[in-house]
Structure 1
Amino acid sequence: MALTNPFGGVEIFIAVVKAGSFTAAATQFGITKSAVAKAVAQLEGRLGVTLLHRTTRRLSLTPDGQAYLGQAETAFDLLRSAEDVARSKASTVRGILRVDMPAAFGRRIAMPILLNILRAHPDLRLEASFSDRVIDPVEEGVDLCLRFGELPDRTDIAARPLGSQRLVLCAAPRYLDDAGEPTDLRDLQNHICILGGSQSRAAPWRFIESDGRVKSVDPIATHLVSDGEVVIDMAVAGFGLCQMPQSLLQPYIERKELVEVLPERCQVQSPFNAVWPATRAILPRVRTVVDELVRRAHSKAL
């Protein structure tokens, strides 16, 4: 006798609510919109309540739907945790590892490390994304995030420190020859500044005050770029000043393609962490990557 899964409709219902539409949920599960609608209708029939208000423009939860959603999400989180605990007992490093990394650091430093791990573990598959925005690993289903900066105070994420890096202000010699070298933070307003961030918010630059306090500065973003690698490339090409972690700029400084500016004020250390959802037991594939990153951080290879 074939057994049906009574919880399939629950998972689809949760996906519909989070995605905001039957269509988006159908794409997520690789099924048709009508199949999603049927699964939710069958769930409502089994429960004897209406979970969703449906109009031509939007979906909204009924009071019964709101109450059921909270219980259902909690139940599925517990089920996923149980599965993760079971998987974590296996010693084989396998499966899909979803990693999100800062663009420049990820491409230039982290990816060679990850490629070595892939060579050592043929059953491991990598899904890598590169973004300088801070993503939520719990919401976006990412196994591991690598992030510069302070971490939010949250109980649903876990982290391992990977050290810290000095934030360095640099420009190309050709730019400094034309624009002059700033001698004070106030001079930054007269310079072309290449900032990382998105259209809605540029990341501030951080400096040390004479009394040791950290000062955040929001220079006018002549150029605003969401990819850290492009920020560096523009600075090397002579388009202005940029501030980035030292490991990313050091090769260009050594080749004299970039010159450090205001070094006495650029003494802020930005923490670097590996972050993953604390709601799950750490999987062997995640532990393998984190342990290797920690080892390299201790040996100053990051």
Structure 2
Amino acid sequence: MTNRLSGIQEFVAVVEAGGFAAAGERLGLSRSAVGKAVVRLEGRLGVRLCHRTTRVFNLTDDGQVFYERCLRALRELEAAETAIETGRNEPAGRIRISVPVLFGRRCVVPVLMELARQYPKLDLEASFTDRTVDLVEEGYDLAIRNGPVRDNAGLMMRRVARQRMTICASPHYLEQRGSPATFAEIADHDTVVYSLGGRIRSWCFRSISGESYELPLQSRIKFDDLDAIADAATAGMGLAWLPCWLIRDRVRDGELVPILRDIDPLVFDSSALWPRTPHLPTRMRLLIDTLAARLPGMTG
């Protein structure tokens, strides 16, 4: 008996990704395999679903109608899967997650390990990167992002933690150069700054009126790793602007000293994002709820 669902997943992925190569990356298949699956589907249906060249992909009228029907059918299947999963004694299945490198290692991974120990049928796959991933295009179920989220079209979002930032330096540096009493004095100091893709991240603060403002910086020491910046500040290379959770132990041990503590620090949100869906699988809901419950204790 012919598999009536054969090729549908590949066809929908091609439409959503905008091409065969991108769909292949999303599904973990070669471009050729995706193309052959769609051709077989067209042969079984007896219609042409799309026009494609090496550069252009467009749905035919029949393809558009079929795509919309396929979406409805897949949503029904997802709802059925969710209903079955909800009735299980324990969550199961694969979740693919994208997390910032350092925040992911220090804060998210302990939560993932806790879930993995508690639920042996969960399959958790985490990718560590500080770039902004495309969840749908790259096949992620969930991403954690720090700071403002601007590209959330088609995504659901929930705050899972808050991160307070502070300026700090080593006791030796402050003894040698003095401690700035105002933001204007920072311009006379050495700084160690975060830079990614050639762009320096400004230091942000909140004014008395509650509005946030940026302190533009020039520095001869630029890293794209917060741990390396903390190491440089500890070594007396200058002032650094870092998350409180990252420097907590260094402050306790006297290696770093927070300054300008009477200034209200800017607080960043850490958010979980996932593709919009009418039925969120139990395993996803568990992960998001657990992150929201556990991360504030690590970042507070």
The equivalent of 1:78 in structure 2 is 75
Deviations 1:131-164 (A, max 9, x none): 3334344444333333332344857433443342
Question: Equivalents in 2 of 1:84, 1:239: separation in Å?
Answer: 55
User: Please, which runs of 5 or more residues in structure 1 have no aligned partner?
Assistant: none
Question: Equivalents in 2 of 1:182, 1:47: separation in Å?
Answer: 75
The equivalent of 2:60 in structure 1 is 64
- Aligned pairs for 1:54-203 (under 5 A) are 54=53, 58-62=54-58, 64=60, 67=64, 71=68, 74-75=71-72, 78-79=75-76, 81-83=78-80, 85-86=82-83, 87-152=85-150, 154=152, 156-199=154-197, 201-203=199-201
Residue 203 of structure 1 and its aligned partner are, at CA, apart by 3.1
Question: Equivalents in 2 of 1:152, 1:24: separation in Å?
Answer: 23
SS in 2 for 1:36: helix
Question: Equivalents in 2 of 1:141, 1:30: separation in Å?
Answer: 9
The 3 A distance-change label for structure 1 pair 22 and 157 is: closer
The 3 A distance-change label for structure 1 pair 19 and 211 is: closer
Q: 1:295 aligns with which of 284, 289, 293?
A: 293
SS in 1 for 2:7: helix
The 3 A distance-change label for structure 1 pair 133 and 193 is: farther
The 3 A distance-change label for structure 1 pair 115 and 262 is: same
The amino acid of 1:231's aligned partner reads I
Matched pairs, number:
296
Question: Equivalents in 2 of 1:32, 1:110: separation in Å?
Answer: 32
The 3 A distance-change label for structure 1 pair 100 and 80 is: farther
Q: TM-score, length-normalised on structure 2?
A: 0.78
Q: 1:253 aligns with which of 244, 251, 256?
A: 251
User: Please, which runs of 5 or more residues in structure 2 have no aligned partner?
Assistant: none
Deviating more after overlay: 65-74 vs 238-247: 65-74
Identity of aligned residues (%): 30
Q: TM-score, length-normalised on structure 1?
A: 0.77
Question: Equivalents in 2 of 1:112, 1:77: separation in Å?
Answer: 34
Residue 179 of structure 1 and its aligned partner are, at CA, apart by 4.6
SS in 2 for 1:181: coil
Residue 20 of structure 1 and its aligned partner are, at CA, apart by 6.6
Deviations 1:192-215 (A, max 9, x none): 433335215443321122444321
Question: Equivalents in 1 of 2:72, 2:244: separation in Å?
Answer: 45
Deviations 1:222-280 (A, max 9, x none): 44433333333333333433322211221111112212122223522222333333315
Residue 168 of structure 1 and its aligned partner are, at CA, apart by 1.0
The 3 A distance-change label for structure 1 pair 171 and 81 is: farther
SS in 2 for 1:264: coil
- Aligned pairs for 1:11-30 (under 5 A) are 11-16=9-14, 22=20, 25-26=23-24, 29=27
The amino acid of 1:209's aligned partner reads S
Deviations 1:36-64 (A, max 9, x none): 3333334455453362332xxx3202463
